[in-house]
Amino acid sequence: MPDGTDNEQPLEVVLIGSLSDVAAQQWDACAGAANPTLSHGFLKLLEDSGAATRDSGWMARHLAIRSPLDASRLLACAPLYVKSHSYGEYVFDWGWADAYERAGGRYYPKLQSAVPFTPVPGARLLVRPDLSPGEPTGDQLRQALLSAMVRLTGEHGLSSLHLTFCTAEEWQLGGELGLLKRRGMQYHWENRGYRCFDDFLAKLTSRKRKNLRKEREAVARSGVTLRHLVGGEIKARHWRDFYGFYLATVDKKWAHAYLTQEFFEGLSSALGDRVLLVLAEKDGEPVAGAFNLIGKKRLYGRNWGCLEEFRFLHFEACYYQAIDFAIEQGLEVVEAGAQGEHKIQRGYLPVDTYSLHWIADPALAQPVSRFLTQERASLDQDRQYLLEHSPYRSGD
């Protein structure tokens, strides 16, 4: 793989062992303001709260490229971790790991460019948009970051490199540079200029429209009320309540609680008005909640939790309240997280997601490549079937 630059001197890519070692302003100049999950504040909070650390299997090895004209100026960076497992990724490679280790290989540790515990699509090769004459181009910087990731994988004897939930443009670039390309699927809601929730309902078929209304009415009849808290409106007591909801729901699913109470309690100060908490109350007492992040054009649904079971409350708190908020704020898209075909009947349609993979051992890389070809064909069929069962009226 080339070094990613036509300059006489290859670009110097340095390792960063913690987000504390890079200025927030410089990182965010590369990450941009559109997607809060890529921000210095969010990623650093994951580290500082103990959620994403070496002890939890996420050892930070972020990458950075500084300007040859001004060493204090960060031109590009990438979130990067050495992983000792595949938890908290949402692009599943457990089968690859199992097959390789049964054949005598060692799959872990591996290298992962991702936002921990966050299946939100976005750039992984972060390049500042205001590059100056005399500085490398954006394409050179992205290629240099990718090349450095592959080089690190080989130099440290890691089995593989994975960039998960990357952009379509990064996916194409990685494919051109020899990485394996994988696609996945999520369900997103698109704001088509709606003025209110009823405008959205009017675009659905009669049967689906009635079903959604019945679900919302059932929640209202249960006596549960919902309210939106943003940024500073979310107090420590609200996060303590939400953490209890989160743990209760994780226990019900026999899952692992990746995130800590310190993470949730730090969100308001780390991200300010980019945080939305949908709080459900019964008789004045909190019973459930849905945590979201507010981007420049998108709302990102993240975690949900509840103490009591109320019929359709999950759909109301996570999907319908998100739509209400997006319409009110003029946001273009609601991303409702990973998986869940049930989201289609509630107006969330399938969209492609992308990941890149580089596997050091050809004995594993070749069968994985064949698997990805078959998987793409199956995914295309599934996507077409799901779109044919869209809840929207024909022509809409």
For residue 4, name the pLDDT band (cuts at 50, 70, 90). very low
| pLDDT tens-digit map of 220-279 | 999 999 999 999 999 999 999 999 999 998 887 767 889 999 999 999 899 999 999 999
Give the least confident one: 4-13, 149-158, 193-202, 360-369: 4-13
Mean pLDDT of 105-125: 97
Q: Where are the beta strands (DSSP E) in the chain?
A: 13-16, 58-60, 62-66, 74-78, 81-83, 110-113, 126-127, 160-166, 180-190, 224-230, 275-282, 285-294, 298-306, 333-338, 349-359
Taking the domain 13-185+351-388, which CATH number applies? Answer: 3.40.630.30
User: What backbone torsions phi and psi does residue 183 show, to the nearest 5 degrees?
Assistant: -115, 150
Q: Start-end ranges of CATH 3.40.630.30 in the chain?
A: 13-185+351-388, 192-331
Q: Which CATH number fits domain 192-331: 3.40.50.2000, 3.40.50.2300, 3.40.50.150, 3.40.630.30?
A: 3.40.630.30
